[in-house]
Structures are given as structure tokens and as C-alpha cells.
Amino acid sequence: MATGASSSRMQLSYIAEGAAFGVLKTGSNLQVLRYTSESLRQESDSQVSAEIRSDRQVADVVRTRLRALGDVNLELNYGDYDDLIAAALQSVNTRATGSLGMATKPTDTADTVTIGTTVYRFMDTPAQAYDVEIGSLVADSQANLVAAINGSGTPGVEYFAGTVAHPDVRAVAFAANVMVVTAKQAGLDANSIATTETFTDVTDKWVAATLLGGTGWAASVTIGPAITLSTSDADNSFNDSGSGFGSIVANQWIKVSGFTTAANNGYFKVVSVAAGKLVVTGGTLVTEIAGDSVTITMGAYITNGTTLTSYNIEKQFADLTTTFAILTGMCVDTLALNIVADAIITGAFGFIGKDSQSAAASSGTGYDAVGTNDVMSAIDDVTSILENDASYDTTALSLNLRNNLRERIQVGALGTLELGVGTLNISGTLQAYFATSTVMDKFLDFTSSSISVVVEDADGNGYVIDLPKVKYTSGQRVAGGQNQDIIADMAFEAYREPVENVTIRIARFPA
């Protein structure tokens, strides 16, 4: 009976290559990637020899060029695509790490390891959640700690039942008595995750008091919960009698919760900042006195940059056991996002890279699992679409980003040596039932506007995609036939906002 690989058994995973473009990355875990379909492949150019032979046969076929390319299609959810979103924006993006040395078997009850607010206690007989079984050898303690952090293994065996995977980090198995933990999300926020221990052997310790090395997504800021916050409809502002807004940054997005008046909660863009006042747009505030317990969070954010990140992307054909395909030098050239009124929010990353190769085993040491957040839909999870900072009743929105990457080749070398970076182009379409000429007149008069999209899943995890400067390049409001709604069908191009100096900004807000 014929056998072959099934798409239902294929796993995609990736890892950033670092400074060396197109080189196989070894010695680290790969990140599993959620996807709906893919077309990642190597393509080759060839030439048929023009040599004339008396027997009419072709003398040779010569390969002249090769490249890797293709798309990964997805359904949007919170958290799992942040690395690749940052790569699409060419924003610097690395995950913070921490290293724990543990060469001595821990002491019962006395020895603990703390990551963030989670305390792992070593016990001969675990008695509560996050107690780790010491075991007979130090290697047992090491393996059991890693299992407890990752939520792997068997609850009630390596660690006490009720222990769940750490929310912020993943651990790699000890090597030479050192365990490395890596933040699940890239960005500066992870640099504040504390790492402490109470080992009896003082030589067993963390390298630093916090994780280090996280870059990319700017640090978030949280004000509150506080009862000193009020609102004013006079200037559409949040006000704090405690003057606690000093860390909020103008032009960034905030999420507000806790006010009695519903209109005062949600997502807003900061226009200006003073110690006791935030003037905002993106919603109309209703005057409300202080007294409620209110929280204001400025989300971590990234903007378009100039740092090109390349990846190894691995295909694991699980039903073939020892068959893998590894693509190298893969860089994000395009990003697409589609929001349609009656559908799941979908998207795609388009890659250009160096080459592909077959392998009998993974090049990584293991895999970091995907998240478990639900996919988002345009029915339940689009909080608002804003046109010029005002809510716009949209039927469909598409965004298309292109980095205009190009292959660089030279005589004496087969394939892509590196990729050249082009101009960032962001375009899209916006459809709505035609009820007013406001947006259409911006096309007719060729005046600028802005477009922002706010999405949030049922758990409260959200993103804001902000294009602070756009111009409409086409527009129509036509009657296509009988019994049809007239749709304002607009196309737009985003470009640099001169004050903010960005073309696109994406902010994230974990629940």
C-alpha cells in the first residue's frame, strides 16, 4: 500500500538565524508556528546548453540560480505571530533570557527558584503546587525543574499536581549544569522578570537578578489601579490628581478600564501628556469624577524600522518520522491582513530566502510550543475601526505590507548571497455602506487621513494597528445592479507621519 506525508501531520517551526544569513542554526529550541496552509519551497532557474551536436541530443542542463520563497497563511490570534510581525516591520526584536547554574542536589524545603512571581520549591515529597521533586541525583532535580517550568512531564510525578506552565518563560534542559530560560514574548517588558533563588550551595545561582537582552517591543506602562483618576469632556482628557502620568508617551495607545461610564473605558490614542492630564483621541469621553478603581495601560509597541531578520524555517513531516525540510535565510517580505464582516480574521506572511535542504533530523534541540489563545473573528473581536480617529462602520478592511526585498547574486556563487532591502510600502482597501461623503471627499480632494484597527479576544488580549497617515488613491460609490447596497469602496496608501516619524505602529495589550 502506498504511503506518504499528510498535511495534517506537518509541523512548521522557526528560529532567528542571528548575524549569519542563510546558515543552519543549531543548539537551540525552535518555535512552533500556527498556520492554515503554506507554500514554502525552493525554486531553481536552469539553462539548456545551446551546443550543437550531430546526434541531435542536448549536451547538458545547467542550474543557474536558486532561491527560497513562499507564504505562510494564518488565522490571527494573540501572541503567536509577534516575532514575525516585528520582522515584517523590520523592527529590532529579541527575547530576554536568563541562566541558572545548579550543580548541587537541592536541600529539601530550603532551596527555591523564583521566576517572576512563581516560586518553585524543591521537596523530597512535594506537598503543594509548584513543589519540585528532588529525586536521587542532581540530574533528577534539574530535569524536574525544567518540566515544572514548561508544564511538561507528568503532574504528580516530577512536580506536584496543580502546577501549570510558567506564563512568561520557557526552559531548556540543563547542559553542563546550566539551565537557560527564555521569555515567551520578545520585548523590553521581559527584562523586568525577576530571577532569584535560595540555594544552600551559594555557588548555585542565577547569572543576573532579572532576565536580560529583550529588545523590540517598547516597555509597557501601567498606571493604577488608582482612585485618583477622572475624565473631562471639555478637552477629552483623563486627569490624575496624583500626577501619575509621567511615564505615558504621546502618540501611543492606552487601554483604560474601571470607570463606571462605559465610554470612558477601552482603547485611546494619546495626543498630549502632562503629569496630571492625558488628552486623547479615538473615543469621546464623558465627564466623570474620581473614585472608581481605574487602570490605564500604555501597551508595548513596535514601529517600522530598518533591521532585517532572517530565519531558519523547518517543516517536520511527522508521519515520515525522519524526514525534515529546512529553509534558510528566510526573511519576511510581505504581510497581509484581512478583516471581513462575517469571517475569521486571516493573514499571510510572504517570505524570500536562500535555499532549502532535506534532513533526517531537526537542527534544533527541541520545540517551544505554540500558545493557546483563540483565533480572532470580525464578528466578536474587532473592537473598532477608526477613520481619522473616529469610529467607522466598516464591512471589510485589508492591509498589505511589502518590504520590496531583492536577491543579491554574483559570479562564482550559486544562489542568494544576501537580500537587499527596499522601501516600505503599505496599502489597503476599506469598504463601508455609503451613508456620507466624508471619506469619499478625502479621495476627491486628495487630503490625508488616518486608519486604526483595534482587536481584542474574549480573554482581553488585544492589538492596535495604527496607520497615522494615509491618502486614498481610489474610491467609488456605484450602483452595481438592482437590490444592492451602495458601498463606499476605498483604496489607500500609508506614508510617513512627519511628527511621529512612523508609517505603522502596532501596540499589544495582554489580558
Query: Average pLDDT by consecutive 10-residue portion of the chain (511 residues)?
Result: 84 93 91 97 96 97 95 97 97 94 95 98 97 96 96 94 94 94 93 96 96 94 95 97 90 97 98 95 97 97 97 95 95 98 97 96 90 94 96 96 96 92 98 95 97 97 98 94 93 97 97 92
- List the grid coordinates of 45: 532557474
**Contacts (Cβ under 8 Å, ≥6 apart) of 195:** 98, 100, 114, 115, 181, 206, 208, 209, 210, 211
Confidence (pLDDT) at 112: 97
**Residue 246 DSSP one-character state:** T
Domains of the chain: 7-43+64-93+306-509 (no CATH), 97-197 (no CATH), 221-298 (2.40.30)
Confidence (pLDDT) at 308: 97
- List the grid coordinates of 120: 518553585
- List the grid coordinates of 82: 509577534
Confidence (pLDDT) at 330: 98
Q: Global pTM?
A: 0.91
**Contacts (Cβ under 8 Å, ≥6 apart) of 23:** 17, 328
Tell me the three state secondary structure of residue 97.
strand
How far apart (Å, rounded) are the C-alpha atoms in residues 266 and 456? 10
Q: Which of 317, 330, 307, 112 is nearest to 215 (CA)?
A: 307
